[in-house]
């Protein structure tokens, strides 16, 4: 048996890559992509802005303004590449780290902070953005996504579903059940696994003995491993998989081979379980730097462009900080809202009792 849980910085041979870490454009026989200079500049802008959102959120957490934050640092290309492959009618189901995909779905970044600041459990309308709420329980959303895709099938709609999860989630029963359902019902879905090498402190070796993308073949659908730090390749591979889903060819598993450069969340300390040299090796594969190098080398952008994007990022960060601090606290009686869609006597009773109790302090 071949054991290959390759997790190191060396790129495995089957990795789909269209842009090298040095910013060189390379071809792939199955995944061609035609990007205008404007497209590339736009992708670069997305990468920089979501990194800034993330850095600002980490800073806010460090200053006590957020209870916790799950950083996407290092995973920007996987999220922007796949997110920009979606059409308006496609539906995305995230974990709790898909801030870059949320950006692509036009979810106001300040709304992402609500969950982590503790003012709500997810404050955007999933139907408005076709971006589902963050799901905390690992892998649960994969089944929701397949069910949604089965709904798309029944509606005969020209749309697809994409669901995000991490390498750790692939050990969950729900994820495996979702693979079975998707395969059996030929559901129009793309499984997008961001293999960032670490499930909190558990390395990939604790989840699998084979490369994750190869799992798909056991369930009866194709799997592909893409360079998750290459925004071009992530865009191309996801676009093709979504098109396959939309045209009745069923599911695809994409394993975006990437690296979580930060901690799992801000409560975590990666220095306890991984060596510094691993991080240093991955820094050389930074998803933003390679696009920047490509733009420079090909004279598709000048310094003024990069300065302007940096300026925009600075403004976005400042604006996010200001609006985070201005986010109103929920009111005590909000506890009872939205538990049920229809009237519920016990909730009404408890709300009234608690309201009376609170009024007792005001007299």
Partner 1 sequence: MTVLSLSKALNEGMRKAMEDDPKVLIMGEDVGKLGGVFRVTDGLQKDFGEDRVIDTPLAESGIIGTAIGLALRGYRPVCEIQFDGFVFPAADQIITQLAKMPMRSLGAIKLPVVVRIPCGGGIGAVEHHSESPEAYFTHTAGLRVVACSNPADAYTMIQQSIRSDDPVLFFEPKRRYWEKADIDTTSTDWWTPLHAAKVVRQGADVTLLAYGPMVKTCLEAAAAAEEEGRSLEVVDLRSLNPLDEPVVLESVRRTGRVVVVHEAPVNSGFGAELAARITEQCFYHLEAPVLRVGGFSTPYPPSKLEEHYLPDLDRVLDAVDRAFGY
Q: What is the C-alpha to C-alpha distance for residues 361 and 350, in angstroms, rounded to an integer? A: 17
Q: Which of 225, 264, 290, 321 is catalytic?
A: 264
Q: What is the C-alpha to C-alpha distance for residues 196 and 194, in angstroms, rounded to an integer? A: 6
Q: What is the C-alpha to C-alpha distance for residues 82 and 146, in angstroms, rounded to an integer? A: 18
Taken in order 22, 27, 32, 34, is the CA torsion positive or negative?
A: positive
Q: Can residue 174 be called a binding residue for partner 1 (CB under 8 A)?
A: yes
Q: Can residue 122 be called a binding residue for partner 1 (CB under 8 A)?
A: yes
Q: Which of 62, 121, 209, 273 is catalytic?
A: 273
For the record, the structure tokens of 134 come out as 């963050």
Q: Can residue 127 be called a binding residue for partner 1 (CB under 8 A)?
A: yes
C-beta closer to partner 1: residue 58 or 152 = 152
Q: Can residue 39 be called a binding residue for partner 1 (CB under 8 A)?
A: no
* Three-state secondary-structure class, residue 181: helix
- Please select the residue that binds partner 1; options are 126, 203, 220, 222, rule is CB under 8 A: 126
In whole angstroms, how close is the CB of 36 to partner 1 at the nearest point? 35
- Complete DSSP assignment for 55-93: HHHHHHHHTTSSS-----TT-HHHHHHHHTT--TT-EEE
Task: Report the Cα–Cα distance between both ends of the chain, in Å, rounded.
Answer: 75
Any catalytic annotation for residue 264? yes
In whole angstroms, how close is the CB of 179 to partner 1 at the nearest point? 10
Contact positions with partner 1 (CB under 8 A) in 182-241 = 184
- Please select the residue that binds partner 1; options are 22, 125, 269, 307, rule is CB under 8 A: 125
C-beta closer to partner 1: residue 325 or 346 = 346
| Cα three-residue angle 161-138-100, rounded to 5 degrees | 55
Active site residues: 260, 264, 273
Residues that bind partner 1 (CB under 8 A): 120-123, 125-128, 132-133, 135, 137, 140, 142-152, 154-155, 173-174, 177-178, 180-181, 184, 337-342, 344-347, 349
């Amino acid at each position: 048996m071949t054991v290959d849980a390759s997790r190191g910085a060396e790129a495995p041979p089957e990795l789909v890559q269209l842009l090298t870490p040095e910013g060189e454009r390379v071809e792939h026989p199955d995944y061609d992509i035609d990007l205008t200079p404007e497209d590339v500049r736009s992708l670069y802008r997305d990468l920089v802005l979501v990194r800034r959102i993330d850095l600002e959120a980490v800073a806010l957490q460090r200053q006590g303004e957020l209870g916790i934050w799950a950083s996407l640092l290092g995973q920007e290309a996987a999220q922007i590449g796949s997110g920009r492959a979606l059409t308006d009618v496609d539906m995305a189901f995230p974990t709790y780290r898909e801030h870059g995909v949320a950006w692509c779905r036009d979810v106001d970044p300040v709304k992402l902070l609500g969950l982590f600041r503790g003012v709500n459990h997810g404050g955007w309308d999933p139907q408005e953005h076709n971006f589902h709420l963050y799901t905390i329980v690992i892998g649960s959303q994969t089944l929701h996504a397949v069910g949604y895709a089965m709904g798309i099938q029944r509606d005969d709609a020209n749309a697809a579903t994409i669901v995000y999860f991490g390498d750790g989630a692939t050990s969950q029963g729900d994820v495996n059940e979702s693979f079975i359902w998707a395969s059996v019902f030929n559901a129009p879905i793309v499984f997008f696994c961001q293999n960032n090498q670490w499930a909190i402190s558990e390395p990939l070796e604790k989840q699998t003995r084979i490369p994750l993308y190869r799992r798909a073949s056991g369930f009866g659908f194709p799997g592909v491993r893409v360079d998750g730090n290459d925004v071009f390749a992530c865009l191309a591979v996801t676009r093709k998989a979504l098109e396959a889903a939309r045209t009745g060819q069923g599911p695809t598993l994409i394993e975006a081979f990437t690296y979580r450069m930060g901690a799992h969340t801000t409560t975590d300390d990666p220095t306890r379980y991984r060596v510094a040299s691993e991080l240093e090796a991955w820094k050389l594969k930074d998803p933003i730097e390679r696009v920047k190098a490509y733009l420079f080398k090909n004279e598709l952008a000048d310094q003024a462009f990069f300065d302007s994007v940096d300026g925009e990022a600075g403004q976005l960060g400042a604006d996010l900080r200001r609006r985070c601090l201005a986010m109103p606290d929920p009111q005590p009686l909000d506890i009872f809202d939205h538990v049920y869609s229809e009237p519920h006597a016990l909730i009404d009773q408890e709300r009234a009792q608690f309201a009376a109790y609170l009024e007792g302090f005001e007299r």
